[in-house]
Structure 1
Amino acid sequence: MPQITLEHPTHFDATDWRALALEIHRLCVEVVGATLPACKTRIVRCENLIVADGAPEQAMVHCDLPILSGRTQEQKTALGEAVQAALLAGVAPYDGPRQISVEIGNLDRDNYRKVTL
């Protein structure tokens, strides 16, 4: 926890995704009390992405960020807003139409298992 997925099209290849992921890890620690070793991010480059009418200039970045249950709605809202601000600041400039979204979800504490070896 958190299990973070950053999805992006080729429009944003110039973005420093590693730096952005590390910033999101920092926010998870600061805003919802996650431990840094628990933060994991998968960066997924989407070759085939269809947004709206399918025009090739349409672009999007989405961050799916499930965290262990037990956080308040205020904490989840604050994390979502902070991550969206980090994405807006960190994603490479692009002049075409684009969407940047974040979803904070719950990992059920009773059903989540992890082993660190």
Structure 2
Amino acid sequence: MPHLILHHTANIDGFDPRAALAAANRALVDSGHFEDVAIKSRALALDQYRVGSADNGHGFVHATLKVMPGRPEDVRAALARDVHDALASCLPALDLHCQLCVEVVELQAATYIKSTHTRSVVPETHA
């Protein structure tokens, strides 16, 4: 835990979603609330979107951070700010109106199931 889901419009020239995810993950680790290996993040570019009534000239980056319940509101707000600041540092100079939004959502502990699986590597033996 947590899950970071990043949606961004495809018209943001120069935006590197890999770098943005790396920066956001680093901010989450640095917060002290999550182990590095527990953070799962992904970015999805949106080709079909609309901002207001304009046909173009607008874009957005929206991050949803899903966490287990129990953290106080001030901690969730600090996590939102940390992710926001990390993502903002990855935005290039833009020729369009771009909104950067971050929300923190608490998962339902009773309906969230997680397990970890590893594949054992068995050395080959040669007869």
Q: Fold-level match, TM-score > 0.5?
A: yes
Q: In structure 1, what is the Cα distance between the partners aligned to 2:13 and 2:64?
A: 19
User: Residue 7 of structure 1 aligns to a residue in which SS?
Assistant: strand
Aligned to 2:66: 66
> Which range moves more in the overlay, 84-93 or 67-76?
84-93
Deviation at 1:68, TM superposition (A): 1.1
TM-score of the pair, normalised by structure 1? 0.90
What does residue 87 of structure 1 align with?
Answer: 87
In the TM superposition, structure 1's runs of 4+ consecutive aligned residues that sit over 4 Å from their partners are none
Give the corresponding residue for 2:12: 12
- Offset at 1:28? 1.8
| Coordinate RMSD, CA, aligned | 1.5
Q: CA deviation at 1:54?
A: 2.9
Higher helix share: 1
How far is the alpha carbon of 1:111 from its aligned partner?
2.4
**Gaps spanning 5+ residues in structure 2: where?**
118-127
Q: What is the one-letter code of the residue matched to 1:74?
A: D
The answer to whether the 8 Å contact 2:4/2:42 transfers is yes
What's the TM-score once normalised by structure 2's chain length? 0.83
CA drift of 1:12 comes to 2.2
State the structure with more CA Rg. Answer: 2
> In the alignment, is residue 104 of structure 1 matched against residue 104 of structure 2?
yes
Question: Does the CA-based 8 Å contact 1:32-1:75 persist in structure 2?
Answer: no
Aligned residues: percent identity? Answer: 27
